[in-house]
Structure 1
Amino acid sequence: MEKLFNNRFIDGISKIADVILISFYFLACSLPLVTIGASSTALYYATHKCIYKGRGYTTEFFHSFKDNFKQSTLSWLIFILLYAILGGDIYITRNYLSPDSPFAAASIFFMVLLVFTVLWAIYHFAYIARFENGFKESFKVSAVFMIANIGWTLVMLVLLIAIYYLCYRFLFLILFAPGIISCTLHPILEKVFRKYMTEEDIAKEDEL
């Protein structure tokens, strides 16, 4: 029993170290900002393969970063454009419309759209990390996953708010937030993904 406890304790410490490392990789590789998409894909890839499946090392992050750089970066540029448009709409409706205007409440609508666009991006980059598909198809499929599994999507939103609150209360957690978010959302995303995988693919993954 003591040996089992020691093994689990050591394994737990190792997992925490892995979370810290992949968080550091993400922050370092996201510094140019334009590479956040590739870093997000690599973060989920390393989380899935190294931390949850126990295959390989955290340096798998850089393998995914390189392999998915083009698709992830182009996707990120599109999401930046969407964020800019929605952010601009929110700013205009909150600052340039009279409170009596029938369109004054539109800012709430745009804020909801912005939140779901962020969740869409999470689905999207996790999808790229797990599956090979075309550029347009990846956008369409990840959007369908988000909407078709709206219950889990809302659970993800609650978890993100909780993590944000913890980081606000304990600022040092910001340094580890990427890994914490990825590890927290991973079980939900995998539950969604496995619903659409073939039995052969699931059996192959379970065997590995």
Structure 2
Amino acid sequence: MFKSKAGTEFLEKMSWVADMLMFSILWFVFSIPIVTIGAATSATYRAVQVRMKEGNGIVWSVFWKTFKNSLPQATVSWLIYFMITLVFGLNQMLLVNDLAGSWLNHFSQIFLLVVIILITPVLVMVLAYISRFEDNLKTVWKNAFILSIAHFKV
């Protein structure tokens, strides 16, 4: 069809855009049950990584295989983060509505905010780590924490 180099490059770019669109749709569909956001994110990370490395359009098979493999660990990791964020949100709602104004509520709000800020980059690294390697959850969190500290940029 296209015999020029520009035409071939255009088709490759459009293939890349189509694959990214498919990854986005798969992530959204698999994230509809809130519980599976971690596994969907992990699977999307791995599928995009394979697409970048190999350059072919294997979208569904890589995503599905990684989703199944990472579901238990990514779900536990995501739910820990989600619960901390949920408690933070509920406490904030109580503080805003003047339903709880003790020093303990204010202290816990600040503490939870610091925990959320510190755990977010570690969670991103955990989900990426889970998509690539098979370790127990304690080792995953330990290695992700070490990698987050090692790659910290100000």
Bin the TM-score by the shorter chain. 0.7 to 0.9
User: Which one-letter code corresponds to 2:121 in the other structure?
Assistant: L
Larger of the two Rg values belongs to structure: 2
SS of 1:150's equivalent in the other structure is coil
TM-score where L is the length of structure 2 = 0.79
TM-score where L is the length of structure 1 = 0.61
1:48 aligned residue:
49
User: Which one-letter code corresponds to 1:129 in the other structure?
Assistant: S
CA 1:93–1:146 in 2, change beyond 3 Å: closer, same or farther? farther
Asked whether the 8 Å contact 2:46–2:66 carries over to 1, the reply is yes
SS of 1:35's equivalent in the other structure is helix
CA 1:106–1:83 in 2, change beyond 3 Å: closer, same or farther? closer
CA 1:53–1:82 in 2, change beyond 3 Å: closer, same or farther? farther
CA 1:34–1:135 in 2, change beyond 3 Å: closer, same or farther? same
Work out the CA distance in 1 between the residues paired with 2:128 and 2:38: 10
User: Which one-letter code corresponds to 1:136 in the other structure?
Assistant: K
Work out the CA distance in 1 between the residues paired with 2:107 and 2:77: 30
Q: What percentage of residue pairs aligned between the two structures are identical?
A: 28
Moved segments of 4+, more than 6 Å: none
Task: Select the residue among 48, 68, 80 that pairs with 1:78.
Answer: 80
Work out the CA distance in 2 between the residues paired with 1:130 and 1:141: 13
1:66 aligned residue:
68
**Number of paired residues?**
149
User: Which one-letter code corresponds to 2:131 in the other structure?
Assistant: A
Post-superposition shift, 1:93? 5.6
Gaps in structure 1 of 5+ consecutive residues = 155-208
